[in-house]
């Protein structure tokens, strides 16, 4: 049986996004956190109240945790299961991109838009990491796109259906990141309909959208309120207003300058948008008609610009926050590329790819020579010895396919896009093997605890960990541990529990009692200062980079 090209494309996307989910270790703090909270839900059977290291954790509502818990129920408590929802919802976002592009243009544009979206660096990086941004981006994208479908639909019944679906998706977004979901979708659709002077449509949309939001969000919100009556008040106060206005939230500070997202966006769209300058050149002379008079283009511009400015104005900033912009940038970029094909401007894309290939080839040669020359100190090299070969081979494969894309002169430009996607996909699929081990060392407490601590533990041993290690210890050991000195993200959970983290003085007083019966006290930390502050008598330390495990007593032979 012959497999059709669309099926092959879906399988290829699934291979790239799902193929390496189990390889890279879970990184602290985000991936560990979004693994441990669902694990504790499954263990306790309490799906209403998020808990991290046994302490209530009100940073996010429950839907994102439920998705990961369901994945862990199916695939087990492992890296693949923890990251599976991110990859799945990234591909669902790509599906939403395809429907939006096809609705406003054709299948060709839809294919190009999906290719641009899935080969964007930030989309891939976030889409293969265990965070809540990919599911949230899908629900916001789907809800906002449904608003555009409502605007273009002529049938009244279908209009109501699109509005209800928009509200339903937005409501799901509320259960992942709160009021940010209706705010983003509402701002984009409201500005667009206002620019189009469709105030009647804007007014008629309120009730159906609200009904959809109530259907999807209200049961979950009430379920959470029943389990934790103080959740929504604290979540909205701290995670929305305080964090948005000051950048500080539950034990952290994410305040960044206004321009923070500009370099993030420029770097995040690469390498997918290398060809977009050709599209800009093609539409420049008719930019007013292309950007302002075409409904879909205007909708994408309004959405992307409004959201970019919103995230830039907010004080709290993380690179992953702007992920919802990328579906609409992909649709806009695809439409420009189609216009470049129509106007004969794709030669500009060939020139850009040629320049990139020259730079990539030169960089690959320099990279190989740098790692082979014995005179270069090892600390200046990314990879030790033969470990540099896979990275060099990945560069050559990417160079090969990009060069084929630049040289392709057939009448079908889709072949150029195919070659470009293959070259990018090769690197994406092998990226977990290409990350230098030294970059992961301090962000991989799970492996450190599994190799250093677990083999030496005995029943009855007492374990403490500072705020940077406690979640990793709970995930690795399968049970909560006591928090030491710096609470970090556990600050509010400790306050709600009426407890406080142990101090060095308290640890010194506890040691004689805890060491009775031949047991050990193990302290996990990532701080050199905390090592100096701890009781020095009877201390044995094992370190790897910033990660340290301190053992007291037990006659443990280290």
What pLDDT score does 545 carry?
Answer: 86
**Domain with 386 in it:** 346-441
pLDDT at 212 over 60: yes
pLDDT at 66 over 70: yes
The Cα–Cα gap between 146 and 129 comes to 27
What pLDDT score does 1 carry?
Answer: 46
Q: Same domain for 168 and 275?
A: yes
What pLDDT score does 80 carry?
Answer: 96
Q: Same domain for 207 and 298?
A: yes
Q: Same domain for 254 and 361?
A: no
Q: Same domain for 315 and 226?
A: yes
Q: In what order do the strands lie in the sheet with 462-465?
A: 482-483, 462-465, 521-525, 547-552, 539-544
Q: Under DSSP, is residue 551 helix (H, G, I), strand (E, B) or coil?
A: strand
Q: Same domain for 433 and 483?
A: no
The residue ranking higher by pLDDT, 162 or 410, is 162
Q: Same domain for 298 and 388?
A: no
What pLDDT score does 39 carry?
Answer: 97
Q: Which residues of 444-457 are buried (b: 16+ CB within 10 A; e: fewer)?
A: bbbbbbeebbeebe
What pLDDT score does 554 carry?
Answer: 64
Q: Which residues of 13-50 are buried (b: 16+ CB within 10 A; e: fewer)?
A: beebbbbbbeebbbbbbbbbbbbbbbbbbeeeeebebb
Q: Which one of 389, 416, 441 terminates a domain? A: 441
Angle between the 107-118 and 5-18 helix axes, to the nearest 10 degrees? 10
Q: Same domain for 284 and 176?
A: yes
Please tell me the total count of domains within the chain.
3
Tell me, yes or no, whether 558 lies in a domain.
Answer: no
Q: Same domain for 484 and 524?
A: yes
Tell me, yes or no, whether 386 lies in a domain.
Answer: yes
Give per-residue pLDDT as tens, 82-126.
Answer: 999 999 999 999 999 999 999 988 899 999 999 999 999 999 999
Q: Which one of 319, 343, 367 terminates a domain? A: 343
Q: Same domain for 208 and 328?
A: yes
Q: Same domain for 48 and 79?
A: yes
Tell me, yes or no, whether 557 lies in a domain.
Answer: no
**C-alpha angle 62-216-39 in degrees, rounded to nearest 5:** 20
pLDDT band at 192 (very low <50, low <70, confident <90, very high): very high
- This prediction's pTM: 0.94
Question: In 150-288, where do the E strands start and end?
Answer: none
Question: Using the 8-state DSSP alphabet, how is residue 321 labeled?
Answer: G
Mean pLDDT over residues 357-366, rounded? 92
What pLDDT score does 411 carry?
Answer: 61
Residue pointed to by tokens 């400015």 = 309
Mean pLDDT over residues 536-545, rounded? 89
Q: Which one of 414, 441, 468 terminates a domain? A: 441
Q: Same domain for 531 and 461?
A: yes
Give per-residue pLDDT as tens, 407-437.
Answer: 887 667 788 888 999 999 999 998 888 888 8
- Lowest-pLDDT range, 160-174, 220-234, 432-446? 432-446
What pLDDT score does 335 carry?
Answer: 95
pLDDT at 369 over 80: yes
Q: What are the DSSP calls for 427-488, one per residue?
A: HHHHHHHHS-HHHHHTT-HHHHIIIIIGGG--TT-EEEE-TTTHHHHHHHHTS--EEBS--G
Give per-residue pLDDT as tens, 246-298.
Answer: 666 655 667 788 899 999 999 999 998 888 899 999 998 888 889 988 999 99
pLDDT at 211 over 50: yes
Tell me, yes or no, whether 30 lies in a domain.
Answer: yes
pLDDT at 195 over 90: yes
Question: The tokens of 327 are what?
Answer: 């579906």
Mean pLDDT of the chain: 90
- State percent of the chain over pLDDT 70: 96
């Amino acid at each position: 049986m012959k497999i059709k090209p669309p099926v092959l494309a879906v399988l290829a996307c699934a291979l790239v996004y799902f193929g390496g989910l189990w390889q890279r270790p879970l990184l602290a703090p985000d991936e560990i956190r979004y693994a441990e909270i669902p694990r504790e839900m499954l263990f306790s059977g309490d799906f209403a109240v998020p808990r991290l290291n046994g302490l209530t954790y009100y940073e996010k509502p429950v839907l994102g945790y439920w998705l990961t818990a369901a994945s862990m129920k199916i695939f087990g408590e492992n890296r693949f299961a923890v990251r599976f929802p991110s990859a799945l919802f990234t591909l669902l976002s790509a599906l939403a991109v395809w429907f939006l592009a096809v609705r406003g243009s054709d299948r060709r544009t839809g294919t190009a838009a999906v290719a641009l979206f899935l080969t964007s660096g930030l989309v891939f990086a976030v889409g293969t990491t265990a965070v809540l941004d990919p599911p949230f981006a899908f629900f916001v994208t789907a809800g906002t796109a449904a608003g555009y479908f409502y605007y273009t639909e002529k049938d009244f019944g279908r209009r109501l259906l699109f509005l209800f679906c928009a509200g339903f998706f937005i409501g799901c977004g509320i259960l992942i990141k709160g009021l940010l979901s209706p705010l983003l979708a509402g701002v984009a659709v409201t500005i667009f309909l206002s620019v189009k002077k469709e105030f009647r449509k804007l007014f008629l949309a309120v009730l159906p959208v609200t009904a959809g939001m109530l259907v999807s969000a209200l049961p979950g919100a009430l379920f959470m309120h029943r389990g934790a009556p103080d959740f929504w008040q604290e979540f909205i106060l701290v995670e929305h207003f305080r964090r948005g206005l000051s950048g500080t939230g539950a034990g952290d500070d994410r305040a960044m300058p206004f321009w923070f997202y500009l370099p993030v966006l420029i770097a995040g769209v690469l390498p997918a948008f290398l060809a977009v300058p050709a599209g800009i050149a093609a539409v420049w002379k008719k930019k007013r008609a292309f950007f302002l008079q075409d409904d879909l283009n205007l909708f994408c511009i309004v959405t992307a610009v409004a959201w970019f400015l919103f995230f830039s104005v907010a004080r709290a900033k993380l690179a992953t926050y702007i992920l919802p912009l990328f579906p609409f940038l992909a649709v806009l970029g695809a439409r420009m590329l189609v216009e470049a094909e129509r106007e004969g401007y794709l030669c500009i894309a060939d020139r850009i790819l040629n320049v990139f290939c020259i730079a990539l080839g030169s960089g690959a040669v320099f990279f190989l020579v740098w790692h082979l020359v014995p005179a270069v100190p090892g600390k200046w090299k990314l990879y030790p010895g033969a470990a540099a070969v896979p990275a060099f081979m990945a560069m050559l494969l990417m160079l090969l396919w990009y060069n084929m894309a630049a040289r392709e002169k057939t009448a079908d430009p889709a072949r150029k896009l195919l070659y470009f996607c293959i070259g990018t996909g090769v690197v994406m699929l092998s990226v977990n093997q290409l990350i230098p081990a030294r970059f992961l060392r301090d962000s991989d407490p799970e492996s450190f605890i599994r190799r250093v601590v677990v083999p030496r533990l005995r029943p009855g041993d007492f374990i403490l960990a500072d705020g940077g290690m406690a979640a990793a210890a709970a995930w690795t050991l399968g049970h909560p541990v006591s928090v030491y000195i710096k609470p970090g993200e556990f600050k509010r959970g400790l306050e709600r529990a009426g407890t406080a983290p142990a101090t060095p003085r308290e640890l010194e007083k506890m040691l004689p009692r805890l060491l009775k019966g031949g047991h050990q006290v193990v302290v996990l930390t990532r701080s050199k200062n905390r090592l100096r502050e701890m009781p020095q008598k009877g201390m044995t330390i094992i370190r790897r980079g910033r990660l340290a495990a301190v053992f007291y007593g037990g006659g443990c032979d280290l």
